[in-house]
Structure 1
Amino acid sequence: MIRGLFCLAASLILLMQASKASAASIVTEWLDQALPYAQEVAWEPTVGSRFFSILHTAIYDAWTAYDPIAVGVVSGTALKGQGGADNEANKREAISHAAFTVLRTFAPQHRRALIERMHKLGYDPNATTLAAKVGRRAAEAVLADCRDDGANEAGNFADTTGYQPRTSRAPGAWRPIESFGRRQLPTTPQWSRVMPFSLARADEFRPIPPPAPGSAEWSRQIDVLIKTSGALSDREKAEAEYWGIFAMAPAPELIEMTKFVSDTNDLRLDDDVKLFFVASNAIFDASIAAWDAKYAYDYVRPITAIRALGDATISAWRPRSLAEALASSTPAAKEDAEHSVILPAGLAEVPAADWEPYLPTPPFPSYISGHSAFTASWARAMELVIGKPDFNFKQTVRHLYVEQRELAEPVALSYPTFAAAAEAAGISRVWAGVHWPADNERGLELGRKVGERVWRRAEQFVLGTASPASAVFATLRPPFWFHDNETSDHPAHFDAASGLAIDLPPQGAGVWRSIVADAMPAGAYELKLKAKATGDAPIRLKVAIEPGDRSQAPLAEAEAAIPTTGSDSVVTIPWTSGGAQSFRVSIEARADDSGARLLVSAIKATRVWPIVAGSPRYYEPNSAGQPE
């Protein structure tokens, strides 16, 4: 009897634990693994935003295998019905394999921990179940699609534009500052080249130019920064530190906040997939638009403009501990601090040439604020996903890390709406001394526009109205492609078992046409087809990129003779997209007096940029003032 009661109690405990575990979405469970890895391998604002976009796009594409209408970003509808029954267990397994595949690729040094994570979830990383296969296929397709997206992942995200900071002493020019004995390296100047999720072009929402040196607004902004520095309250310091908790990269913090949104709205797996899909891509597209503005205007940081005032005496915040002194931007600043007139609350009368911001200055141009753009884009997207402005996020700050002291009265941060959170994040960068008011104001405006654009594009995928070109190029079979005979008296035979094949009789002709695909982001592209022919005589091949309305002239076309050697030939079609026009691809094959067979086995579109090597991602240890 007692033994039976004990067994019943144990069973109930296990049941309660299982119920608790199943209530947590597998999407948020994987964040415990992803967030520290992002901090380790994708610490920059740009690279970090791409990390989460790829992760959650892969998860989303795996999930679409089970949704009756949603379209995958890379896979389109190719995974429909491939992952087994539409149930919670299969979705969890597919999503786990998608997340595992992405994280193993981006953080291979944690392969063992990732395998252990899979085992704890009850999955074999090498499983051959339908759900496991779908998850891996989705992730591998997304990773392959992003490999040549302009970020230069293969080159460790080093610059590809040849950007150099201006050597002139122009007052409005951004100049890297000294950091730990070395000049800052510009962070990812090439980011405007990265393929966006929803933007037609990187400069689509580029703001007006920043205040010009010598203008009234220029003087006002300097005055605002100096007065702000000289009157920083504990609340402002706490808020600056809170939004700077992930240093230069807001993406991890915003993804954590997305988890809070999921929890407070009691979302389950299906809604979590869509929530994080929208959130991560809102942050990602904001990074592209913000970095376009940053390097287009190449605008000065407050630390440079204020120090240019030279010997003018200002009342400003000063570091008060060894930790802050080490964060000072020049050795001279540490020495001069000993001779400053110290005022209450960490203030001092100092020469402007020795001014220090409250937080370290990031290594990229000032205008616009990345924090403002990222958080505003995220906030606007969240409003639209959740269907209401309410955020109701609260946090208490008890310790100031910069000043290494406990607060006499803890600071309670409260953001009742998503917009309030974005505005707080933006203004915190002015309090931190690393951004101008205009950086924040224009950044918030840009971010809101990007967030709305991302939401509209994501809605097309979720509601099944999107027609992504990536799926058309990656899936060479119906329903993405259909065929026509071009000569009724010598009909061709079509087969899509291993690609787009056309069996041509003598004098025969046939064409494969794609469905109409959504517009590609603006830019110059190369469409490359891998084709081979077998038979008795070469095949005449004509490839055309046509507007969605076929009554208009082709956007680009190319012709080639494919020899019947059975070897692969590559046909390249240069093509320019304006970012707004839908299109389709047609592949026409003709035979002369002998029969032949054409097989197109691969199609890939690549955006083409002139590549000029620029700054690396980071200094090697032996070149950063460290021991050999």
Structure 2
Amino acid sequence: MKRICTFLIAMLMMASALNGQHSVARQWNEVLLESIRHDLGRPTVHSRNLFHISTAMYDAWAAYDDVAVPCFLGNEVGPYQFLFDGVEIPGDPVSVKNAQNMAVSYAVYRLLKHRFAHSVGAGFIIPLVDSLMLSLNYDTALVSTDYTQDGPAAFGNYLALSIIEFGFLDGADEEFDYEYDDLFYQPVNPPLAPSSHGDPSLIDLNHWQPLAPDSITPRRFLNPQWGRCTPFSLNENDLEVQDRNGVPYYLYHDPGQPPYLDTATLGGLDDFYKWNFALNAVWSSHLDPSDTTMVDISPAAVGNLTSLPTTEEEFRAFYNFFDGGVADSGYDLNPKTGAPYESQWVPRGDFGRV
């Protein structure tokens, strides 16, 4: 019991420290990031969480602004219509700010409680979320979504509920814990047990191989079905629908086929696949803090590319294999001053690590 009390006090102290230093949006962002740190490493899932929760904060703020236009509210987003009748905007700036803070807090609070309810780190995350609401003096028992009658708190609850409903329809398969069926992806190679020596069961070097850390349960490919998930900042012009095993497979900004390992001729660095890996290894050596090579990172030496490589020959010419850098020419003059840029020489290792 003593340990639990100490933990809760620590959560309150953390929330109170944030409360005194930053905006409400910043405080909730910090809680969101801390929640992600205590969850599994799921970059696709958490990029969606960041998208939805940041949009919730923006819409909660925008609803009480005379100029801003909400992103979700009042719009059809993917398969979901975000109904919105508007809110009553207070007449003085202080009341407007208070309404925005309250709406933001209730919206993010409800979303975080929903999205991380079954997280492996829920024992840490949920008390942290509760502690920030407590430090902001908001009543978590207020669950109304009737924002026309119950004000900013109910509006925040309504906004969160709308995004939760949207999240069950956006193609992410959230209701199934983001799992997918085998129509979308089936590994060609059997799982590799890292504790075993070698990989005698490998079938195709040019295909992904799942890992089975416990030699029994293989890791699954992350969300191969998410091409159909309602995106952020992508539109139909970016989309290509392909066929995979008779199932529509959605790809945004399809980069085409990657370099494949030539398993027949084994041509050394003539093999484009091996050249890519060797380039990465050589450039990794540039990160050495003891590397004495200096590079000019000013606009006089960096930038002003007129085209990007698209073929193997162009890629090989574009990247400086041994010294690092690409085939850019820099700029002759500063357009503001009309004078040449001054050189900015820095250690290559420092620049590479940044």
Match of 1:102 in 2: 111
Q: Quick one: which of 203, 207, 211 aligns to 1:169?
A: 203
Q: Quick one: which of 137, 141, 144 aligns to 2:165?
A: 144
Match of 2:242 in 1: none
Structure-2 separation of matches of 1:21 and 1:150: 36
Shift of 1:232: 4.2
Query: Aligned ranges for residues 461-476 of structure 1 at < 5 Å?
Result: none
Larger Rg: 1 or 2?
Answer: 1
- Describe the superposition over 1:494-551 as per-residue Cα deviations: whole angstroms up to 9, x where unpaired: xxxxxxxxxxxxxxxxxxxxxxxxxxxxxxxxxxxxxxxxxxxxxxxxxxxxxxxxxx
User: What letter corresponds to residue 124 of structure 1 in structure 2?
Assistant: D
Q: Quick one: which of 40, 46, 49 aligns to 1:48?
A: 46
User: What letter corresponds to residue 104 of structure 1 in structure 2?
Assistant: K
Q: Quick one: which of 190, 200, 225 aligns to 1:190?
A: 225
Match of 1:208 in 2: 256
Asked if the contact 2:260–2:272 (Cα under 8 Å) also holds between the matched residues in 1, the reply is no
User: What letter corresponds to residue 179 of structure 1 in structure 2?
Assistant: P
Shift of 1:147: 1.2
Asked if the contact 2:286–2:352 (Cα under 8 Å) also holds between the matched residues in 1, the reply is no
Shift of 1:54: 1.3
Determine helix, strand or coil for the equivalent of 2:188: coil
Structure-1 separation of matches of 2:211 and 2:270: 21
In structure 2, the CA distance between the partners of 1:228 and 1:213, relative to structure 1 (3 Å rule), is closer
Shift of 1:131: 1.2
Match of 2:344 in 1: none
Asked if the contact 1:58–1:98 (Cα under 8 Å) also holds between the matched residues in 2, the reply is yes
User: What letter corresponds to residue 220 of structure 1 in structure 2?
Assistant: F
Count of aligned pairs between the two proteins: 227
Shift of 1:228: 4.6
Superposition RMSD on alpha carbons, in Å? 3.6
Higher relative contact order (CA 8 A, sep 6+): 1
Match of 2:140 in 1: 125
- Describe the superposition over 1:61-88 as per-residue Cα deviations: whole angstroms up to 9, x where unpaired: 2122112243333322825224655621
Shift of 1:191: 1.5
Instruction: Report the structure, 1 or 2, having the larger strand content.
Output: 1
Structure-1 separation of matches of 2:279 and 2:254: 29
Q: Quick one: which of 196, 207, 213 aligns to 1:179?
A: 213
Structure-2 separation of matches of 1:218 and 1:52: 42
Structure-2 separation of matches of 1:185 and 1:74: 32
Unaligned runs of 5+ in 1: 1-17, 238-408, 416-423, 425-628
In structure 2, the CA distance between the partners of 1:412 and 1:124, relative to structure 1 (3 Å rule), is farther
Q: Quick one: which of 72, 82, 90 aligns to 2:99?
A: 90
In structure 2, the CA distance between the partners of 1:101 and 1:194, relative to structure 1 (3 Å rule), is same
Structure-2 separation of matches of 1:209 and 1:233: 28
TM-score with structure 1 length normalisation? 0.32
Identity across the alignment (%): 23
Unaligned runs of 5+ in 2: 1-15, 76-83, 145-149, 190-201, 240-249, 290-346
Match of 1:29 in 2: 27
Determine helix, strand or coil for the equivalent of 1:203: strand
Query: Aligned ranges for residues 577-616 of structure 1 at < 5 Å?
Result: none
TM-score with structure 2 length normalisation? 0.54
Q: Quick one: which of 169, 177, 180 aligns to 1:156?
A: 177
Structure-2 separation of matches of 1:92 and 1:61: 12
Asked if the contact 1:84–1:131 (Cα under 8 Å) also holds between the matched residues in 2, the reply is no
Structure-1 separation of matches of 2:29 and 2:174: 22
Structure-1 separation of matches of 2:283 and 2:254: 33
Asked if the contact 2:19–2:136 (Cα under 8 Å) also holds between the matched residues in 1, the reply is no
Structure-2 separation of matches of 1:147 and 1:236: 47
Q: Quick one: which of 80, 91, 96 aligns to 2:86?
A: 80
Structure-1 separation of matches of 2:256 and 2:109: 42
Shift of 1:161: 4.5
